[in-house]
């Protein structure tokens, strides 16, 4: 279902169509090239010695037995690697933020189970793992801060320099701003919501091959990454090398979702160690390491309040947010958390808002970026709206209709400190998704089922999110377009595709920008030696940013082709039109056929060297607003607590889609991750700080049997950016958890059950039902 | 996640395998489908100096049915068990339990004997074997062939009555005939996960719809697979349609010990789920028996093979 609400964009051949992904052939036949496929002469293998304690002093490390094992090359400790750090900071934040500690290896004290203590280098991974068992670390265990909710009162410090374990906090409008509204409210909804820790869990774990050439002072890195240029910049700073002496390569990356958006501590170790060993060094993280040490996300709680007038109109909203950042977060977590407060009002007409956020250390895996890092704003708001509606005796859909912003009302101010919402369609996607469900029919079905002792539920979730930021670092994307002597095109961009089809996307864009067939365009990505700078897959930016870069490079290329054609066509360049694969005199009417005096193909113009043009696009708008409504229906078995999802509908607006298949793939992937977060995934620790879900036996990802068919409804409101395209990468993961939880809560509403803790596991639901007397 | 060094043996016959087991003793472990053992080795939760791979032994394959029993070679893969129409006809519980074992990739390698010898309390085949009073055939170089009743086989968490030098070579299941009904009910977080609880029920009705015999096996509710003798005794002689499933569930849960409690649920939660599964399985099996023509299992249930 597609509804286009705006003036049509110029006709294009490929943009907007379901072009098959060029990546699929190799990926679906098992011929992708991932970092573990890289083989180098004499390559060595790394494996980390990791802490078995959540918090302990390191008294001594004895590597002699490990070093004596045949095939072991080296065992590095903090004393070997940490002093080599030249500079350590991420480009997106710069060196001046009050960043949290991030040593390569643990020094003196371990701070979570999985904390890297030493790095073993051996001939192969088997020997390396044998040697890891032989490294004797004398630990002196200490009581840990296992739960961030105890961090401010436990008296134990994760890092001595942070009193009360507070890494920092930010605040928007203070509570006083909303107090009068709350005082006069006819109804107040007030709950504290808790969201469990879960993580991106990419299909491909982290990994890196680093090869140092001492003779030439050159470093080559093959990485599983979302952003090769940042790996290069970071690596160069870390090692004190000129960026030009660092080359980063990647082809396929099997998912990142934020976990691979910047290098982490282990990556630092491998880069540092590579200069101390005589051959390339490979580190491939195994699944247990990934679940134990790659980091966690989502772990947070928030006291959320909404004040309503008697008719359900929202008067004010406020949230006090606290998040777990673990021991070593990546990158700086404090600033990112502001988005929770800024976006808490969501796509509703909220006159006043207040917010604050606090980041607390704990002795657990560090917080890292995860697809829609601020999604707690939607969890808290959308769950609270359903609870409020039930308390007021209103249908949750009706309560939202009374408050949601429609396209006609834009731009609309955000009271929390964001620029005004614009170019989006919250109420429209809401109605679209409800229409796809046939909401009234479902309510009738639900009533009939209840009469028969079955418990069905429906939940919705509507959000609006800033995408394709104009923030300096992420605003920037370069592209090079090259015409080969035979007229074939190549588009060269940074890349960093981790499943999000940047190859297909830029080929579509290039084919349209120059009027050439899709099959006549190749792309080169993921090699910093030959690609222009781009900031990679992050912040739902790649579609918009590459459209900008390709668009500007195509304009430059068309200008060059016009210059080249000018003498041969006998008219000045400005009288030449470059389109549809040809240069011709403007208005000559020549539409097809052979090259002639009035029309030249790109091959005619390319010459033996070809023609090339490049451009760097910089986003001008501070953000492009994407929005969506998720609607989920489910059945709950009130004896076992099992939740079965029945239908899942997403009505969304990411502007004109470059490729609906890719957009829907992005929505599906995020939605599945959100379903996992709502029902299954839980990176749980015991009271001593031991991770209890470090294999796939205990860390439960949703699979095809748990996820229903996802139905999509598209609206396309263009944004003030290239092609009108908006970001699509993160929304699924934001919208899904509240829709699922609201559906479960709706199913259980006859029992008076209120869900404020995630995940809604069967045992947790049974506990709520038991508490409610069922 | 690489296993520590081990020596790999691939004997050519059951006799050779038994000889190796006798020679290597505790330092050796039998490798069949490897679906439990290999992950434990890779996670270095288990270490063995020698692995004796029996997965290619023809002597552990094959299936024979006589009137009273079905004998399966221990090396038969779970996928083969689940796909065999003869198995589905003779011992419907085996066929119906099979799709609940992990995922099809796991069933392609995992074996009947491997599952039973591993004796995970949440596994399906051990519960079926126990419920049906199967006979486990062991073989050793020293004692030759030995038959162990299922009731004596499962001795504790992941432990069995097999001697260190014994290899499980076959399993003999009684074939139930008459007006029978069978059901498997299991609850897991996701399809293919270890069950939080599971129940297998077999029952036979006599001519006036009274329960002639009943077998209830349970998994995930103790340190071994379990029977529910109180519930079985309460059912026998009663009219199937008049039995209170919830009461049978309560009886089945009464007196349970060592109920697991883990991330997926407390002991109380498992009892709640287990009782409900007993009721549901009993209802399904009763309905099937009541609709049975008394000759054998229905065509529909025979067709419930691994898909």
CATH number, position A117 = 3.90.1170.50
Rounded Cα gap, residues B46 and A434, in angstroms: 53
* Token digits of residue B158: 């992941």
Mutation target to probe the A interface, by most A beta carbons within 10 A, among B269, B274, B283 is: B269
Tell whether A93 and A231 lie within a shared domain: yes
Q: Does the residue A287 lie in any domain?
A: yes
| Helix/strand/coil for A632 | strand
Binding-site residues on chain A for chain B (CB distance < 8 A)? 125-126, 129-130, 133, 286-288, 639-640, 642, 680, 682, 684, 692-693, 695, 697-698, 700, 702-703, 705-706, 761-763, 766-767
The phi-psi region of residue A417 (left if phi > 0; otherwise alpha if psi is between -120 and 50; otherwise beta) is: left
Tell whether B148 and B195 lie within a shared domain: no
Binary contact (A700, B4; C-beta < 8 A):
no
Q: What value does the mean pLDDT of chain A take?
A: 96
Tell whether A419 and A289 lie within a shared domain: no
Using pLDDT thresholds of 50, 70 and 90, give the confidence band for residue B299: very low
Last residue of a domain, one of B121, B146, B174: B174
Tell whether A499 and A395 lie within a shared domain: no
Non-local (6+) Cβ contacts of A561 within 8 A are A483, A578, A583, A602, A605, A611
Tell whether A447 and A510 lie within a shared domain: no
Tell whether B34 and B120 lie within a shared domain: no
Query: Can you say whether the dihedral through the CA atoms of A282, A287, A293, A295 is positive or negative?
Result: positive
Using pLDDT thresholds of 50, 70 and 90, give the confidence band for residue A597: low
Q: Does the residue A19 lie in any domain?
A: no
Q: Which residue of B has its CA nearest to A685?
A: B263
Binary contact (B2, A684; C-beta < 8 A):
no
CB A219 within 8 A of CB A245: yes
Q: What are the chain B neighbours of A703 within 8 Å (beta carbons)?
A: 190-192
Helix axes B245-253 and B267-290, enclosed angle (nearest 10): 140
Q: Which residue of A has its CA nearest to B190?
A: A706
Closest Cα in chain B, distance from residue A115 (Å): 17
What CATH number is attached to the domain comprising A589?
A: 3.30.365.10
pLDDT of A7 strictly over 80:
no
Using pLDDT thresholds of 50, 70 and 90, give the confidence band for residue A8: very low
Binary contact (B269, A130; C-beta < 8 A):
no
Name the percent of chain A lying above pLDDT 90: 96
Query: What is the DSSP secondary-structure string of A506-571?
Result: HHHHHHHHHT--GGGEEEEESBTTTS--B--S-TT-HHHHHHHHHHHHHHHHHHHHHHHHHHHHTS
Last residue of a domain, one of A601, A618, A635: A618
Closest Cα in chain B, distance from residue A666 (Å): 23
Tell whether B238 and B289 lie within a shared domain: yes
* Token digits of residue A195: 């969201």
Tell whether A500 and A422 lie within a shared domain: no
pLDDT of A739 strictly over 70:
yes
Question: Tell me, what's the pLDDT at A613?
Answer: 98
Note the ipTM here: 0.93
Tell whether B143 and B239 lie within a shared domain: no
Tell whether A239 and A321 lie within a shared domain: no
Of A42, A40, A41, A46, nearest to A121 (Cα)?
A: A46
Mutation target to probe the B interface, by most B beta carbons within 10 A, among A282, A762, A764 is: A762
| pLDDT average, residue stretch A556-563 | 97
Question: Of the candidates B1, B190, B272, which has its C-beta nearest A706's C-beta?
Answer: B190
Closest Cα in chain B, distance from residue A637 (Å): 11
Last residue of a domain, one of A618, A639, A656: A618
Closest Cα in chain A, distance from residue B268 (Å): 10
Q: Does the residue B76 lie in any domain?
A: yes
Q: What are the chain A neighbours of B43 within 8 Å (beta carbons)?
A: 288, 695
Distances (CA, A) of A6 to A13, A138, A465, A656: 19, 67, 20, 10
Non-local (6+) Cβ contacts of A67 within 8 A are A74, A75, A131
Question: Tell me, what's the pLDDT at B241?
Answer: 81
Last residue of a domain, one of B120, B139, B174: B174
Mutation target to probe the A interface, by most A beta carbons within 10 A, among B47, B123, B190, B307 is: B190
Beta-strand pair A136-141/A56-62: antiparallel
Q: Does the residue A66 lie in any domain?
A: yes
Q: Does the residue B303 lie in any domain?
A: no
Binary contact (A684, B189; C-beta < 8 A):
no
Question: Of the candidates B44, B189, B272, which has its C-beta nearest A766's C-beta?
Answer: B272
Size of interface A-B (CB pairs under 8 A): 61
| CA angle (A572 as vertex; A570, A574 as ends), nearest 5 | 135
* Token digits of residue B228: 């529910």
Helical spans, DSSP H, in A312-415: 333-336, 338-343, 376-392, 396-401
CB B156 within 8 A of CB B224: yes
Q: Does the residue A200 lie in any domain?
A: no
Closest Cα in chain A, distance from residue B128 (Å): 22
Q: Does the residue A199 lie in any domain?
A: no
Q: What are the tens digits of pLDDT across the range A337-394?
A: 999 999 999 999 999 999 999 999 999 999 999 999 999 999 999 999 999 999 999 9
Mutation target to probe the B interface, by most B beta carbons within 10 A, among A69, A120, A645, A763 is: A763
pLDDT of B302 strictly over 90:
no
Binary contact (A698, B263; C-beta < 8 A):
yes
Tell whether B129 and B21 lie within a shared domain: no
* Token digits of residue A350: 């909220």
Tell whether B141 and B211 lie within a shared domain: no
Binary contact (A640, B276; C-beta < 8 A):
yes
Tell whether B202 and B270 lie within a shared domain: yes
Q: What are the chain B neighbours of A287 within 8 Å (beta carbons)?
A: 1
Tell whether B97 and B34 lie within a shared domain: no
Tell whether B66 and B42 lie within a shared domain: no
Q: What are the tens digits of pLDDT across the range A456-507?
A: 999 999 999 999 998 889 999 999 999 999 999 999 999 989 999 999 999 9
CB A246 within 8 A of CB A237: no
Q: What are phi and psi of A52, to 5 degrees?
A: -90, 0
B70 is in which domain, residue-wise?
59-174
Query: Can you say whether the dihedral through the CA atoms of B150, B155, B158, B163 is positive or negative?
Result: negative
Tell whether A574 and A425 lie within a shared domain: no
Binary contact (A762, B189; C-beta < 8 A):
yes
Q: Which residue of A has its CA nearest to B1?
A: A286
CB B74 within 8 A of CB B139: no
Tell whether A460 and A503 lie within a shared domain: no
Q: Does the residue A637 lie in any domain?
A: yes
Distances (CA, A) of B75 to A568, B1, B64, B113, B148: 79, 27, 14, 6, 17
Tell whether A437 and A499 lie within a shared domain: no
| pLDDT average, residue stretch A235-261 | 97
Question: Of the candidates B1, B43, B273, which has its C-beta nearest A640's C-beta?
Answer: B273
Rounded Cα gap, residues A421 and A265, in angstroms: 37
Rounded Cα gap, residues A336 and A414, in angstroms: 18
Q: Does the residue B287 lie in any domain?
A: yes
Question: Of the candidates A639, A702, A761, which has its C-beta nearest B276's C-beta?
Answer: A639
Question: Tell me, what's the pLDDT at A50?
Answer: 98
Closest Cα in chain B, distance from residue A634 (Å): 15
Distances (CA, A) of B18 to B7, B28, B33, B51: 17, 11, 18, 13
Q: What are the tens digits of pLDDT across the range B14-71?
A: 999 999 999 998 899 999 999 999 999 999 999 999 999 999 999 999 999 987 999 9
Tell whether A562 and A633 lie within a shared domain: no
Give, as one character, the DSSP assignment of residue A15.
T
Using pLDDT thresholds of 50, 70 and 90, give the confidence band for residue A598: confident
What CATH number is attached to the domain comprising B19?
A: 3.30.43.10
Closest Cα in chain A, distance from residue B266 (Å): 8
pLDDT of B297 strictly over 90:
no
Closest Cα in chain B, distance from residue A635 (Å): 15
Last residue of a domain, one of B126, B152, B174: B174
Question: Tell me, what's the pLDDT at B303?
Answer: 37
pLDDT of A78 strictly over 70:
yes
Of A245, A159, A222, A203, nearest to A527 (Cα)?
A: A222
Question: Tell me, what's the pLDDT at B294?
Answer: 60
Q: Does the residue B306 lie in any domain?
A: no
Q: Does the residue A63 lie in any domain?
A: yes
Q: Does the residue B63 lie in any domain?
A: yes
Distances (CA, A) of A87 to A241, A580, A630: 10, 49, 43
Closest Cα in chain B, distance from residue A223 (Å): 20
Binary contact (B1, A697; C-beta < 8 A):
no
Tell whether B102 and B167 lie within a shared domain: yes
Q: What are the chain A neighbours of B269 within 8 Å (beta carbons)?
A: 762-763, 766-767
Question: Of the candidates A640, A695, A706, which has its C-beta nearest B187's C-beta?
Answer: A640
HEC assignment per residue over A449-507: HHHCCCEEEEEEEEEEEEECCCCCCCCEEEEEEEECCCCCEEEEECCCCCCCCHHHHHH
Tell whether A669 and A765 lie within a shared domain: yes
Non-local (6+) Cβ contacts of A71 within 8 A are A122, A123, A124, A127
Number of domains, chain B:
3
Question: Tell me, what's the pLDDT at A589?
Answer: 58
Binary contact (B273, A133; C-beta < 8 A):
no
Non-local (6+) Cβ contacts of A554 within 8 A are A481, A510, A513, A514, A613
pLDDT of A774 strictly over 90:
no
Binary contact (B263, A706; C-beta < 8 A):
no
Distances (CA, A) of A8 to A4, A11, A14, A562, B242: 8, 8, 15, 28, 70
Number of domains, chain A:
3
Tell whether A396 and A514 lie within a shared domain: no
Binding-site residues on chain B for chain A (CB distance < 8 A)? 1-5, 39, 43-44, 187, 189-194, 196, 263-266, 269, 272-273, 276
Name the percent of chain A lying above pLDDT 70: 97
Binary contact (A761, B269; C-beta < 8 A):
no
Last residue of a domain, one of A618, A644, A665: A618
| Helix/strand/coil for B7 | strand
Q: Which residue of B has its CA nearest to A704?
A: B191
Q: Does the residue B2 lie in any domain?
A: no
CB B36 within 8 A of CB B16: no
For residue A82, the Cα-to-chain-centroid distance in whole angstroms is 29
What CATH number is attached to the domain comprising B127?
A: 3.30.465.10
Q: What are the chain B neighbours of A697 within 8 Å (beta carbons)?
A: 194
Q: Does the residue A171 lie in any domain?
A: no
A131 is in which domain, residue-wise?
35-142+205-253+260-293
């Amino acid at each position: 279902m597609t509804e286009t609400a705006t003036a049509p964009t110029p006709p294009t051949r490929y943009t907007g169509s379901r072009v098959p992904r060029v990546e699929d052939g190799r990926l679906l036949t098992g011929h992708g090239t991932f970092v573990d496929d890289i083989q180098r002469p004499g390559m060595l293998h790394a494996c980390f010695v990791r802490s078995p304690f959540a918090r302990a002093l390191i008294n001594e490390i004895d590597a002699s037995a490990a070093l004596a094992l045949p095939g072991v090359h080296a065992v590095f400790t903090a004393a070997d690697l940490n002093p080599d750090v030249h500079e350590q900071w991420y480009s997106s934040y710069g060196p001046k933020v009050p960043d949290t500690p991030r040593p390569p290896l643990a020094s003196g004290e371990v701070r979570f189970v999985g904390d890297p203590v030493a790095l073993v280098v051996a001939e192969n991974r088997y020997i390396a793992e044998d040697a890891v068992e032989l490294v004797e670390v004398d630990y002196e265990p200490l009581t840990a801060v296992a739960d961030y909710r105890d961090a401010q009162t436990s008296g134990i410090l994760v890092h001595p320099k942070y009193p009360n374990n507070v890494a920092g906090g930010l605040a928007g409008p203070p509570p006083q701003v909303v107090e009068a509204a709350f005082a006069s409210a006819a109804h107040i909804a007030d709950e504290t919501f808790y969201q469990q820790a879960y993580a991106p869990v990419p299909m491909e774990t982290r990994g890196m091959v680093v090869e140092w050439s001492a003779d030439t002072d050159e470093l080559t890195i093959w990485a599983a990454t979302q952003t090769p240029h940042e790996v290069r910049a970071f690596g160069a700073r870390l090692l004190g090398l000129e960026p030009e002496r660092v080359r980063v390569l990647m082809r396929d990356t099997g998912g990142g979702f934020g976990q691979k958006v910047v290098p982490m501590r282990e990556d630092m170790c491998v880069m540092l160690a590579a200069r101390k060993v005589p051959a390339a060094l490979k580190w491939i993280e195994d699944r247990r390491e990934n679940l134990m040490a790659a980091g966690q996300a989502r772990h947070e709680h928030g006291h959320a309040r909404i004040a309503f007038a008697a008719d359900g109109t929202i008067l004010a909203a406020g949230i006090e947010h606290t998040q777990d950042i673990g021991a070593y977060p990546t990158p700086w977590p404090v600033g990112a958390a502001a988005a929770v407060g800024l976006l808490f009002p969501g796509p509703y007409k909220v006159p006043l808002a207040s917010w604050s956020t606090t980041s607390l250390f704990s002795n657990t895996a560090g917080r890292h970026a995860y697809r829609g890092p601020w999604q707690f704003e939607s969890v808290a708001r959308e769950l609270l709206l359903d609870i409020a509606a039930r308390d007021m005796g209103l249908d949750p859909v009706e309560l939202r209709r009374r408050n949601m912003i429609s396209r006609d009302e834009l731009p609309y101010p955000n009271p929390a400190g964001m620029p005004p919402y614009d170019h989006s369609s919250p109420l429209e996607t809401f109605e679209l998704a409800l229409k796809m469900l046939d909401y009234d029919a479902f309510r009738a079905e639900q009533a009939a089922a209840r009469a028969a002792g079955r418990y069905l539920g429906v939940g919705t979730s509507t959000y609006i999110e800033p995408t394709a930021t104009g923030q300096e670092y992420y605003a920037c994307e370069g592209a090079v377009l090259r015409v080969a002597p035979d007229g074939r095109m190549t588009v060269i961009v940074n890349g960093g595709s981790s499943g999000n089809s940047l190859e297909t996307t830029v080929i579509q864009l290039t084919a349209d920008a120059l009027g050439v067939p899709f099959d006549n365009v190749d792309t080169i990505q993921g090699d910093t030696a030959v690609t222009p700078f781009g900031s990679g897959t992050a912040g739902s930016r790649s579609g918009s940013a590459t459209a900008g870069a390709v668009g500007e490079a195509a304009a430059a290329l068309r200008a060059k082709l016009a210059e080249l054609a000018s003498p041969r066509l006998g008219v000045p360049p400005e009288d030449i039109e470059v389109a549809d694969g040809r240069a011709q005199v403007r208005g000559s009417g020549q539409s097809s056929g052979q090259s002639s005096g009035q029309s030249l193909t790109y091959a005619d113009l390319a010459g033996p060297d070809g023609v090339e043009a490049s451009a760097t696009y910089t986003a001008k708008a501070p953000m492009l607003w994407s929005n969506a409504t998720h609607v989920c229906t489910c059945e709950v078995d009130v004896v076992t607590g099992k939740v079965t999802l029945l239908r899942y509908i997403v009505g969304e607006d990411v502007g004109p889609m470059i490729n609906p298949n890719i957009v829907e793939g992005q929505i599906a992937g995020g939605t599945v991750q959100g379903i996992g977060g709502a029902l299954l995934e839980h990176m749980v620790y015991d009271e001593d700080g031991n991770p209890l879900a470090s294999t796939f036996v205990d860390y439960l990802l949703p699979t095809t049997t748990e996820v229903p068919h996802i139905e999509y409804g598209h609206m396309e409101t263009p944004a003030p950016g290239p092609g009108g395209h908006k970001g699509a990468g993160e929304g699924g993961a934001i919208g899904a958890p509240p829709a699922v939880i609201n559906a479960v809560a709706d199913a259980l509403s006859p029992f008076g059950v209120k869900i404020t803790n995630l995940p809604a596991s069967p045992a947790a639901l049974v506990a709520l039902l038991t508490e409610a007397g069922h | 996640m690489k296993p520590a060094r081990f020596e790999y043996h691939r004997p050519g016959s059951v006799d050779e395998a038994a000889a190796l087991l006798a020679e290597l003793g505790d330092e050796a472990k039998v490798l069949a489908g490897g679906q439990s053992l290999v992950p434990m080795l890779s996670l270095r939760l288990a270490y063995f100096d020698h692995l004796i791979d029996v997965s290619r032994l023809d002597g552990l394959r094959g299936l024979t049915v006589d009137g009273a029993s079905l004998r399966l070679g221990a090396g038969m893969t779970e996928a083969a068990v689940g796909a065999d129409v003869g198995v589905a006809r003779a011992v419907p519980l085996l066929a119906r339990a099979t799709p609940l074992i992990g995922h099809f990739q796991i069933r392609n390698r995992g074996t009947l004997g491997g599952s039973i010898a591993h004796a995970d309390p949440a596994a399906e085949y051990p519960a079926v074997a126990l419920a049906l009073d199967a006979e486990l055939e062991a073989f050793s170089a020293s004692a030759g062939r030995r038959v162990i009743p299922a009731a004596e086989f499962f001795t504790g968490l992941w432990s069995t009555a097999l001697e260190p030098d014994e290899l499980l070579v076959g399993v003999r299941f009684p074939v139930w005939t008459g007006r029978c009904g069978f059901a498997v009910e299991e609850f897991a977080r996701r399809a293919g996960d270890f069950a939080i609880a599971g129940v297998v029920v077999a029952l036979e009705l006599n001519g006036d719809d009274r329960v002639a015999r009943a077998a209830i096996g349970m998994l995930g509710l103790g340190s071994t697979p379990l029977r529910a003798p109180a519930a079985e005794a309460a059912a026998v002689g009663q009219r199937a349609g008049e039995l209170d499933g919830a009461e049978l569930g309560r009886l089945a849960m009464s007196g349970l010990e060592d109920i697991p409690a883990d991330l997926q649920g407390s002991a109380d939660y498992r009892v709640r789920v287990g009782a409900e599964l007993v009721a549901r399985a009993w209802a399904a099996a009763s309905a099937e028996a009541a609709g049975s023509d008394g000759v054998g299992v229905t065509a529909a249930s025979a067709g419930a093979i691994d898909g």
